[in-house]
Structure 1
């Protein structure tokens, strides 16, 4: 029996496929909005709180506009993400630019937008000053404490092997340079673990950053304006996992805030987050249809999606729960490898997964694909990008990105006359 709920029925999905053939992504507007409001409630104790949604997770303008209406900003890592944010109505410090190995032209564009620039490396400080002819009034530095990041003696990640951020001494020297260069508003940022399913991650990270903020005040004479806890709050991909409680997480950060910042005269520091997976993953699904079966040494169920649509299982061995629409109450009596059609053996959405007996035509709802799903797609084997749809609050479905066509696939080529005639004659 299925243990994760869907936000669409088999009958609704079949109606959608009459207009939009599988595979496609389907996002749930109601779920997105409710989750954004829970996050805001969790940090309502901090008057300056803002969520900067990680655009890289789900770069679709319709999604960004929904989040903007819910009071979110955007976290961008490239020129295209900055441009998308501007086009969606985000302005000035509603945009955070956190990149690494950054082309100088992107710094110029971020400054033009008035975005908050978050510098990844100590050498970026002088690089930015030379590029812009001085520093913006607001700047942020990214921190990497090195070592291992632990929660209750459990290693969560290994920051010292990450390419991101500066050492503590680099951070302190960097702030001194920024202060001498006329910067008026300072921030600090860190991302130390990915997809944590623990209510202790943010409070533990906050303790490190708040302690550093006190040292910045004492050693540099600088009062930080904001502290960005970044992302890393994950989701329960497996149905047996206990999900994060964002209200408990927010209260945990609040206690550490009062304990460290409040007692050191820093009770006006704003708290920022830049969540992607937590904000969108549970509210996006890949809908695909069973089209083929193969019996050799294993039982294979072939679907019309592939790793080019959702690469996480193929690349990371990531688990995504699968619901067979219309068979939610049936037991998983059969074991399948659920596969796509790429010429790669890792093109599998599930391996030895117990599911109800499948039939050709069954629609599968692949859960928790709303972040780092469509965004990480590609065209290997000439596979075309699928459509993205939004289930609106009134139950209607809106196309928010059409499926790619062969003409799109060929559009960036320097096409010779014979190829152009072929495309025109075949309506590609």
Structure 2
């Protein structure tokens, strides 16, 4: 099984005439089809909404596509709130160790504040006053480890996010006293799960908890937010999640728990970043050097500053040598960038077709947590972002960073005239 790129060698050769590599390119058609599928999977829930995780792909052109389907935005910083507001659509603000000005901004924008810790309630009193917005949410951390039938998925007990059950009950009681009329419950217990069990299992636990708290505190739940965690298979042989099966699994838990509890009007929210965008973005780079020492190396014009996941996590990203999709993968390479770090490798001991200088490499599944995690080490510059539109045309949705951009924060120093050109 092979991952098929959504662009061809001839398309990239044409694009590269005006947009030099490296660059990110996103597939509008794929994004839209996936949005429709997510909407269909949860259509059984009248209040369903996807709050796309802005941190995954913080580009207003991408957010605008997602907003076309009525979806909102999960934000966790001031910059993300400003981006979401520029596009429009509902906002969920799930942050931690949050500065006061960011809470104030979210409240001013009409976003839903999702409280990460019980100590944030008195902190919010200083910002919002004694009367809080009518709808607020709290984040839950059950502790321990989170298990599914296929084993341990993650370790919430070692996570900095969320509150204990006892703290939740106290938090909802305090929120009620502050004038909050309806509340939400939020939890994120595992990342990049590739199993249709994750959301339904999480949903069952949160539904039971919400029903118990609703009765105990006497407060109405407006929504339950399953957050993110629905992942993708990065390797060609990986099984992919079936969002229709996931939605059906959540529905069964909803009817098992919430409907009998008289909570059948509770909305289901999700905050998927990776599932929504990762397969629909690629980093395109060009082979510019080859090295033959103890191993075979191909040096490309992108580096870990453009896509840090392989260097940071040892994450696998599939690579296609464009134009050589049908050639045998009979050469073993390390694919490297130019940073002065030995972990600056997109692939280690990867079997690929013979690569020649000037070949274009497509690095798959970089549409989420790819460009967004870029940085400037060694003075390497951020690349452009391009959108492959449904009609086949290409639009630049973020220009490449320039040296003037990089040096711009020296503009009031004695070095400005030497570093920043007119």
Shared fold, TM over 0.5: yes
The aligned residue for residue 400 of structure 1 is 397
What is the root-mean-square deviation in Å for CA atoms of aligned residues?
1.1
The aligned residue for residue 341 of structure 1 is 338
Q: 1:173: how far off?
A: 1.0
Task: Write the deviation string for residues 175-231 of structure 1: whole angstroms up to 9, x where unpaired.
Answer: 111112211011000000000000000000001100101111221112211000000
Task: Write the deviation string for residues 232-271 of structure 1: whole angstroms up to 9, x where unpaired.
Answer: 0000100000100000000000000000101111111000
Task: Write the deviation string for residues 312-343 of structure 1: whole angstroms up to 9, x where unpaired.
Answer: 00000000000010001111000000000100
The aligned residue for residue 83 of structure 2 is 84
The aligned residue for residue 237 of structure 1 is 234
The answer (yes or no) to whether the contact 1:74–1:96 under 8 Å persists in 2 is: yes
The aligned residue for residue 255 of structure 1 is 252
The aligned residue for residue 271 of structure 1 is 268
Gap regions ≥5 residues in structure 2: none
The aligned residue for residue 194 of structure 2 is 197
Tell me the TM-score normalised to structure 1 length: 0.97
The answer (yes or no) to whether the contact 1:314–1:347 under 8 Å persists in 2 is: yes
Aligned-partner Cα distance in 2 for 1:31–1:416 = 46
The answer (yes or no) to whether the contact 1:306–1:341 under 8 Å persists in 2 is: yes
SS of corresponding position for 1:354 = strand
Which of residues 376, 381, 384 in structure 2 aligns to 1:384? 381
The aligned residue for residue 281 of structure 2 is 284
The aligned residue for residue 108 of structure 1 is 104
Q: 1:423: how far off?
A: 3.6
The answer (yes or no) to whether the contact 2:387–2:396 under 8 Å persists in 1 is: yes
Aligned-partner Cα distance in 2 for 1:266–1:422 = 62
Aligned-partner Cα distance in 1 for 2:414–2:256 = 71
Q: 1:414: how far off?
A: 4.2
**Aligned residue pair count:** 421
Q: 1:130: how far off?
A: 2.4
* Structure 1 residues 112 and 419, CA gap change in structure 2 (3 angstroms): closer
The aligned residue for residue 130 of structure 1 is 126
Alignment of 1:29-428 (within 5 A): 29-90=28-89, 94-134=90-130, 135-152=132-149, 154-416=151-413, 419-421=416-418, 423-424=420-421
Aligned-partner Cα distance in 2 for 1:248–1:56 = 26
Structure 1 ranges of 4+ moved more than 2 A: 414-419, 421-424
The answer (yes or no) to whether the contact 1:188–1:226 under 8 Å persists in 2 is: yes
The answer (yes or no) to whether the contact 2:223–2:268 under 8 Å persists in 1 is: yes
Aligned-partner Cα distance in 2 for 1:343–1:418 = 25
Aligned-partner Cα distance in 1 for 2:121–2:148 = 32
The answer (yes or no) to whether the contact 2:407–2:420 under 8 Å persists in 1 is: no
Aligned-partner Cα distance in 1 for 2:341–2:413 = 31
Gap regions ≥5 residues in structure 1: none
SS of corresponding position for 1:14 = helix
The answer (yes or no) to whether the contact 2:404–2:419 under 8 Å persists in 1 is: no
Q: 1:417: how far off?
A: 5.1
Greater displacement, 51-60 / 177-186: 177-186
Q: 1:57: how far off?
A: 0.3
Tell me the TM-score normalised to structure 2 length: 0.98
The answer (yes or no) to whether the contact 1:216–1:223 under 8 Å persists in 2 is: no
Aligned-partner Cα distance in 2 for 1:189–1:364 = 39
Aligned-partner Cα distance in 1 for 2:415–2:220 = 65
SS of corresponding position for 1:150 = strand
Aligned-partner Cα distance in 2 for 1:191–1:375 = 20
